[in-house]
Amino acid sequence: MRGPVFLDRALFAALAGKAAEAPRRRAHHNLHEMSEPCHRLAVGLQPDTYIPPHRHLCADKAEALLVLQGRIGLLLFDDDGAVQATRLLEAGGDCLGVDLAPGQFHALVVLAPDSILFECKAGPYRPPVEAEQAAWAPREGEAGVADYLAWMRAHFADRRV
């Protein structure tokens, strides 16, 4: 049995630092073993990370996201890529997080440096299948990512640092 892991400022600072140094500008701290049925993790995120629109199609892949530090914009899309809704998720703000049903296309845009997100969903991890990736948005590393990220960020232009 492992001991408790505290979600404290020391962990947040370490995660933010790792995210700042990481090529993808984010870093994960798993609170679970990969074989566990419930995956829980803290994620350090920097504003220039790109989290492309995606969805989780398995019936047991609802996803809960809570902002523990910073500010993150959530975009919800229909199947054709039209924005259905946006919501500002902010530590200490009006809305701290979201619980997403399986099948909902969503993306995140980081609006404040050193943001920390808590994520919880059913395990085990499996790479996304083609139908879970948005055909209408660039994938990480593809041409157009910078423009698409700027477009997502523009939905929250009045709510950034």
Q: What is the pLDDT of residues 95-143, one digit of tens each?
A: 999 999 999 999 999 999 999 999 999 988 888 899 999 999 999 999 9
Rounded to an integer, what distance in angstroms lies between the CA atom of residue 135 and that of residue 132? 9
Average pLDDT along the chain: 95
Would you say residue 4 lies in a domain?
no
Are 111 and 153 a contacting pair, CB within 8 Å? yes
Domain that holds residue 104: 9-159
Would you say residue 1 lies in a domain?
no
Would you say residue 2 lies in a domain?
no
Other Cβ atoms closer than 10 A to 115? 28
Would you say residue 3 lies in a domain?
no
What is the percentage of the chain residues whose pLDDT exceeds 90?
Answer: 88
Question: What is the DSSP code (8-state) at residue 106?
Answer: E
Please report, for the domain that includes residue 33, its CATH number. Answer: 2.60.120.10
Token digits of residue 53: 């629109």
Would you say residue 112 lies in a domain?
yes
pTM score of the predicted model: 0.94
**Which whole number is the average pLDDT over 27-31?**
96
| pLDDT, tens only, 39-55 | 999 999 999 999 999 99
